[in-house]
Amino acid sequence: MIRIILFMLTNLSVMFIFGIILSMTGIKSHSIYELIIISGLFGFSGSIISLLLSKWIALRSVNGKIIKVPSNENEIWLTNIIYLQAKKMNISTPEVAIYHALDMNAFATGSNRNSSLIAISTGLLNNMTRDEIEAVIAHEISHIANGDMVTMTLIQGVVNTFVIFISRILSQIINTLLSDNKNENEHQHYNSTTYFFITMIFELIFGIFANIITMWFSRKREFYADSGSAKLVGKTKMIAALERLQQSCEPQELSNLSTFCIHGKSQSIMNLFMSHPSLNNRIYALYKNIYM
């Protein structure tokens, strides 16, 4: 979940800054085609920058330490498992990092399948059996092999483009209606200021709906990663890992950080904004061979 949340936060921040710059330039829809091109450039820029910076941001956010040379038996076993699984999936061996956290968690990130990182929390390493850890690693390896981060970038770029485009179209329509009653001296200043604020409001509103779409896709990819893990190390191990997460205590972090946890809450309308389906649903899908 961490890889998705960090990706989304960075992407939204970049998109918001670009949105402000675009509004301040006064660029509006003199041409629909021109606006589509501009929206696409700014829409995809945010997601691409997020992707390129994903490893750097993720490592620093969790204060992770990359294992360059294994220093103990556990690190040797961990790096060997990741090497063997990566070889089976025909991808380059990801970098391996460990970070200190009480909760059981792991994530994969990187700009492409041959330049990736898998980070694992000490809470997971200390509380799971080796079979369960192996299944969690296989889940993350599946994310990398499936190219989920690149796919997320493309989807985010498309929804960003839509948000920027439709926000500016609607903003110009409303701005024109509101400024019709202004005299000529007031018109120019009112037009630019109002357009800017209306655009920001629409981008915020449509950005929320765009996140719902992106999170829906993210939940689907989790099922496929579970399935990939089951094929790689066996369904029994993956189910055991998910059941271990069910038995663990709820995260103790603040509410804005608890969404990072792989066993985060999923209730009511907030389901729409969850990057992961519930553990019950994931276990059920494995038992029933759904997505296999």
Which DSSP string do the residues of the chain spell out, in sequence order? -HHHHHHHHHHHHHHHHHHHHHHHTT---SSHHHHHHHHHHHHHHHHHHHHHTHHHHHHHHHT-EE-SS--SHHHHHHHHHHHHHHHHTTSPPPEEEEE--SS--EEEEEEETTEEEEEEEHHHHHHS-HHHHHHHHHHHHHHHHTTHHHHHHHHHHHHHHHHHHHHHHHHHHHHHHHHTTS-HHHHHHHHHHHHHHHHHHHHHHHHHHHHHHHHHHHHHHHHHHHHHHHHHH-HHHHHHHHHHHHHSPPP-S-HHHHTTSTT----GGGGGG-SS--HHHHHHHHHTTTT-
Instruction: Report, as an integer, the average pLDDT of 283-291.
Output: 90
User: To 10 degrees, the CA torsion angle through 205, 207, 210, 211?
Assistant: -110
Give the mean pLDDT of 152-181: 81
Q: How far is CA 135 from CA 102, 139, 140, 232, in A?
A: 20, 6, 9, 8
Query: What are the structure tokens assigned to 264, written together?
Result: 């985060």
Q: What is the pLDDT of residue 264?
A: 47
pLDDT band at 98; cut points 50, 70, 90: very high
Q: What is the mean pLDDT of residues 15-41?
A: 63
- Confidence (pTM): 0.78
What confidence tens digit (pLDDT) does each residue in 33-71 have?
A: 777 777 778 778 878 887 888 888 888 888 999 999 999
Is residue 253 flagged as an active site residue?
A: no
Q: What is the Cα–Cα distance from 206 to 201, expressed in whole angstroms? A: 9
Residue 23: is its pLDDT beyond 60? no
- What's the mean pLDDT when you consider all of the chain? 80
Question: What number of residues does the chain have?
Answer: 292
Lowest mean pLDDT among 65-69, 121-125, 151-155, 237-241: 151-155
Q: pLDDT value at position 66?
A: 94
The rounded Cα 107 to chain-centroid distance in angstroms is: 11
* Largest separation between any pair of C-alpha atoms in the chain: 78
> In the structure, what pLDDT confidence band is assigned to residue 94 with cuts at 50, 70 and 90?
very high
Structure-block tokens of residue 108 = 């994969």
HSE, CB side, 13 Å, CA atoms: give it for residue 86.
20
Scan for tokens 């500016």, then name that residue. Answer: 168
Mean pLDDT of 204-231: 90
What are the tens digits of pLDDT across the range 189-200? Answer: 446 677 778 888
Pairing of strands 106-112, 115-121: antiparallel
Position with higher pLDDT, 289 vs 249 = 289
| pLDDT tens by residue, 233-247 | 999 999 999 999 887
Catalytic residue among 140, 186, 243, 253: 140
Per-residue pLDDT band for 252 (boundaries 50, 70, 90) equals very low
pLDDT at 182: 53
pLDDT of amino acid 210: 87
Contact 213, 273 (CB under 8 A): no
pLDDT at 154: 84
- Dist. CA 11–CA 154, nearest whole Å: 12
Q: Residues of the chain with pLDDT > 70: what percent? A: 76
